[in-house]
Amino acid sequence: MNQLIGLKQFTKIVADSGNFYEINKYKPEDATTNPSLILQNINIPEYQCLIDDAIVYSKKLGGDRNTKIIHASDKLIVNIGNKILQYIPGMISTEIDARLSFNTDLCILKANKIINMYEELGIDRSRVLIKLASTWECIQAAKQLKKDNINCNLTLLFSFAQAKACAEAGIFLISPFVGRIYDWYCKNGLLKNYHVSSDPGVLAVQKIYKYYKKYGYNTIIMGASFRNTKQILALSGCDCLTIAPIFLEKLKNTNAIVERKLNLPNKSINTATALDIYEFNLEHNQDRMAVEKLSEGIRQFSDDQEKLEIILNDKM
């Protein structure tokens, strides 16, 4: 048995890709996208008709050129998500503009717009997760969106404070970034005699998993952003893992027994009070890694969103 099949015994596998060929090849249950992944695949032939359709759609909605570009960008991510849903039985995570990450009201408006676009294509909102950065403002947006049956995937999650706030808000799913945590510790020379059992990204997910399961939180944990298959296998048993095609291929081509690493702890009564904005900010900002990586991630996704809009502007 190869490791990919073995891993699927304990964990839902999600494809971290915007490439239709790769998604169809590895048969994941769900898939995730973001502006960076879309840019990586922007020149594949199957994207071109989706781009053309998005531009035609934006022109029908009207407005000035900047407004049309925003409409085209929103429509493109929905077109890509819709196409991916043809290859998977589950859900697609669609990321909204990261530049809105500190504005609750605008995140809610954008999420509703994206969901409406999916529904215009006949896709039920139950198959779509809106991806938002794990800022306080986005967590509050996701909490409100849930009341309208719009579920969210809170991404760029690095601190335990972010994880607690998401659980307390009843968020559907979180994506702690294993590899980016690992990157920060490597960059700062803090990993000596490395072994996956002491990998800070792996340990972060393990801590969240134990906390959520012990106190009965229903928020799904989806480990993300991996740098090697050892990190992935060390989290076998996690609710979900979103994995890039390069590592899906390595797992598929390796025959070995996969053991479950994360097991359900005994449940206990949670007597903790929910974090308010002040406690959240204080606790989150105690973690220098989390502060730096969250800011960096929002900048990166914002930059890639702008690059995507430049491409759409040129084609328009």
Instruction: Summarize the confidence of residues 156-174 as an average pLDDT.
Output: 98
Mean pLDDT of the chain: 96
What is the C-alpha separation between 44 and 84, in angstroms, rounded? Answer: 14
The residues facing 132 across adjacent strands are 154
Buried b (16+ CB within 10 A) or exposed e, 16-39: bbbbbebbebbebebbbbbbbbbb
Task: Give 201-237 as a DSSP string.
Answer: HHHHHHHHHHHHHHTT---EEEEB--SSHHHHHTTTT
Sign of CA dihedral 83, 139, 150, 117: negative
Active site residues: 131
pLDDT at 48: 95
Instruction: Summarize the confidence of residues 5-23 as an average pLDDT.
Output: 95
pLDDT at 210: 98
Say yes or no: domain 3-315 is CATH 3.20.20.70: yes
For the chain, domain boundaries: 3-315
What is the C-alpha separation between 92 and 128, in angstroms, rounded? Answer: 5
What is the C-alpha separation between 164 and 161, in angstroms, rounded? Answer: 5
Instruction: Summarize the confidence of residues 168-196 as an average pLDDT.
Output: 96
Q: C-alpha angle with apex 109: 70 to 118, nearest 5 degrees? A: 70
Q: Max Cα separation, the chain?
A: 59
**% of the chain with per-residue pLDDT over 90:** 97
Q: 40: closest CA among 14, 20, 57, 66? A: 20
271 pLDDT band (50/70/90 cuts)? Answer: confident
What is the C-alpha separation between 108 and 1, in angstroms, rounded? Answer: 44
Chain segment 211-242, per-residue pLDDT in tens: 999 999 999 999 999 999 999 999 999 999 99
pTM > 0.85: yes or no: yes
Chain segment 131-152, per-residue pLDDT in tens: 999 999 999 999 999 999 999 9
pLDDT at 272: 83
